[in-house]
Amino acid sequence: MDIIVFILLILIPGYLLSRIIFEDLDGFLIPPISFVLGLLLLVLAALPSYIFSLTFLQSSAIILTYLGVLLLATLIKGNLTSVNWPKPNFNIALLLLLVFGILIIMFFISPHFDGDALFHLGQIRKLAENSPVSPTEAFFPIEKINPGYSYNIWYFAIAIVAALSKTDVVLVWSHLVFILVPTSVLAFYSFALALFRDRTLAAISVIFYAFFIGFLANAWEFRIAPYPDQVARHIVLYVSFFCFMQFAVFKERRYLYFTILIGALLPMIHMYSWIHLLISVSAFSIASYFLSDRRVLKMGIKVVLAILLLSAPYLLLKLQNAGEVVGDVTLKRDALVLLDRIFIVNPFYGIYALLLFTIFALVFLLYHYRRNLKSKIWLVFVASNAAASFLILYNPIAAPLVSKLITYTYFHRLGYLVYNELIIAAFLVLIVFSTGDKFKLTPQLRSLFLISSLSMIMLIPLVYNKTKETTVNEKEVSELISYIKTKVPKKSVIAADLWTSYRIPAYSNNYIVATFPSHMTANVNGAKRISDLKIIFSPDTNYKQARRVLNSYNVSYVVVNNRPSPNDIFAVDKFEGKGYIRKLYSNGVYTLYFHKIK
């Protein structure tokens, strides 16, 4: 049911809009473009809902209104079902094999339900289960705006689907991978096709996309497909690149407008991809000025400025608590600190074997095409983006600045500006498998690509390592949360150790005192909350001290974990037999108490 609602709310409006704007679109590009246009249209319902605290019923009315208008417009135009399908050939067979193969893989690979996933699920659950729609922080009842993910369009999309289909958000999240993963494959294909303007090369690039993400990386990014950063990077960003490349080649205004609109949609889903797009377009435009078409610089400036201008109101709305948001940058293990606050990505960690291989291929391609670079727009694009990546990651001035803007976690992901899949596919097809600068798809090569794709699809679920996130208290915590979901009133504040706390808002509509610092947003004073949580459970504090803290956070339920992990808060059960607190539930590991607030 949730999938049907998702199709109805997102994909169908997007499809209708694509029939009006991009009627000549290749049939295989329709799913990703419909998806992105659907999200773009959803902004019309989501932002008013967030700002004016509408209910999902009112939001649905907005969606139905534009759905009706679009349907009418498409019917008037008479191209509701006229799709431009390419002729069936090897490229199409390969693409279909990869898309459906990866779809089938997802039946054997479970979505990831730990780490950031629980944070996102907590935020989405609050949206889906509480009316009206609100951008406030979801883990803590503080009525503050969540600076990272407030007014998020993707959260709104999942929440409204869950609310209207009456399905739990965890289930919606699990089901969505079956739409998102094939859509991301097609989105990448759209990008590759717009870049290379060659179906064979685009289809072969998709093999490498599946190879790197699915085969080499244990399908990790397929498993986290519903994360906002994944949706933004693997679908919306690629579609924005598609529009931009189409604009760069055909100079048609509709592509310009949609590059800008999709560019402005990106920060509403995830900031990283927005920065990625801006850097990418800027780098390409500057490189084009010197290497190929001087006019591209003007086009690039136009696109970048328009995206910035259009994004500004949303960013202002979002960053109303900016003073608290932009704190000190937390560096990770792969940073190389040069001076106080001056750092770069440590080349020792950043430059891995595959990257060296890609650099070699890129340099070879540049050398090979050095005389006719002007006609190789794709090469200018991938080379300029790779250069931009290095100039930021290994630049002691740019690195701290960009990290401040998008956090270090996302800053070092600017390595994604090096498009391994595209460069290696181009190297293989245009250099290795070409004779006299001409690539001929021999029957032998066709078989090779098909056999290797099929083998890869077969091997991905076989080698997939599912034992990775089995944790000690998995069974007991799920029993505890089932009890909380059925017996504890919604929106109660529950005090528990950090690991258990992190799971409570993800799986039930309740609040917590604190969780892991990396999963608390900057404006909730995480350090204070953690030290208060320690007072509640510590063996060095007495019951009275604990009670004072419980009252200050309006905690009505306390969970004592007898088996916390070594890095977690050490919990001592000092509540047994005390007044104002009553034992409700115990399962050997967890004990749940009801606390009467003073």
Partner 1 sequence: MMARLESINYKSFFTQNLNKFLLLFIIIFAISFRLYYFVGVKRLDSFFYAQLSYFISSLNFHSFFFENNNYFAIGRLLLYLPTGLAYHFLGVGDISSVLFILLSSLANIVVVYFIGKMIINKWVGLISAFLLAIHPLDVIYSTQYLPDGLIPLFLSSSALSFLYAERETKVEKKLVLYFLTGLLIGLAMYVRESAFIFVSVFIVYAVFKGKFRLDYLWILVGGFFTFFLAGVFFFFGTSDFLYNFHKLFAQTLESKGAIKQSLGHEVLSFDFTKILLTDVLLRPFNLLLLTSTVFSLIYLRGRNFFVLIWFFTILFYLDFVAPLHGLGTQDRYLSIITAPSVIIIGSCIYTVFQGFRYNALGVLTLLVFVTLSANSALKIIWPQTALHPHFAKYEYLAEKLQNKEIKMVYVNNLKDKGYIFNYILNFDSLNYNSFQRGDVGSSNSLIIEWDGLKPPEKGSFVVVDSEKLYAKVRPNWNLISKKLRASLYFVK
Binding site for partner 1 (CB under 8 A): 215, 353-354, 357, 360-361, 364, 427-428, 431-436, 444-445, 447-448, 451-452, 455-456, 458-459, 462-463
Q: How far apart are CA 63 and CA 68, in angstroms?
A: 9
Burial class (CB in 10 A: 0-12, 13-18, 19+), 16: buried
Q: Residue 28 or residue 427: which is nearer to partner 1 going by CB?
A: 427
Assigned token pair, 570: 């050490």
CB of 474 to partner 1, least distance (A): 23
**β-strand partners of 364:** none
Question: CA 480 to CA 557: how far, in whole Å?
Answer: 12
The CB-of-361 to partner 1 minimum distance in angstroms stands at 7
Supply the minimum distance, in Å, between the C-beta of residue 438 and partner 1: 10
Task: Report how far residue 560's alpha carbon sits from residue 495's, in angstroms, rounded to the nearest whole number.
Answer: 9
Least gap, CB of 349 to partner 1 (angstroms): 15
* DSSP for residue 569: P
CB atoms within 10 A of CB 504: 29
Q: Which is nearer to partner 1, 398 or 445 (CB)?
A: 445
3 or 351, CB closer to partner 1? 351
What's the chain's Rg over C-alpha atoms? Answer: 26
φ, ψ (nearest 5 deg) of residue 335: -90, 145
Nearer to partner 1, 142 or 448 (CB): 448
User: Minimum Å distance from CB 412 to partner 1?
Assistant: 21
487's tokens: 């017996």
| Cβ at position 334, least distance to partner 1 in Å | 18
Cα–Cα distance for residue pair 471/118, rounded to 1 Å = 15
Specify the residue, 325 or 431, whose C-beta has the smaller distance to partner 1. 431
Using the minimum distance from each CB to partner 1, give the nearer residue, 335 or 428.
428
Q: Which residues does residue 557 pair with via DSSP β-bridges, in sequence order?
A: 494, 594
Contact call for residues 415 and 393 (beta carbons, < 8 A): yes
Phi and psi, residue 397, nearest 5°: -90, -45
Strand partners, 337: 343
* Positive/negative CA dihedral, 385, 388, 394, 398: negative
- Tell me the two tokens of residue 415: 């390595």
- Please report how close the Cβ of residue 98 comes to partner 1 at its closest, in angstroms: 15
Q: Of 79 and 447, which has the nearer Cβ to partner 1? A: 447
Return the SS3 of 540: coil
- The residue (of 222 and 272) whose beta carbon lies closer to partner 1 is 222
CB of 469 to partner 1, least distance (A): 18
> For residue 152, which of 226, 220, 70 has the smallest C-alpha distance?
226
CB of 428 to partner 1, least distance (A): 7
Nearest residue (CB) to partner 1, 370 versus 490: 370
**Angle at which helices 295-318 and 271-291 cross, to 10°:** 160
H/E segment holding residue 144:
none
| Cβ 54 to partner 1 shortest distance, Å | 51
User: Smallest Cα–Cα separation from 327: which of 587, 179, 522?
Assistant: 522
Nearer to partner 1, 51 or 458 (CB): 458
Q: How far is the CB of 45 from partner 1 (least distance, A)?
A: 45
Distance in Å from the first CA to the final CA of the chain: 44
**Three-state SS for 105?**
helix
Residue 231, CA distances (Å) to 168, 180, 266, 382, 517 in order = 20, 8, 10, 22, 25
Q: Tell me whether residue 73 or residue 432 sits nearer to partner 1 (CB atom).
A: 432
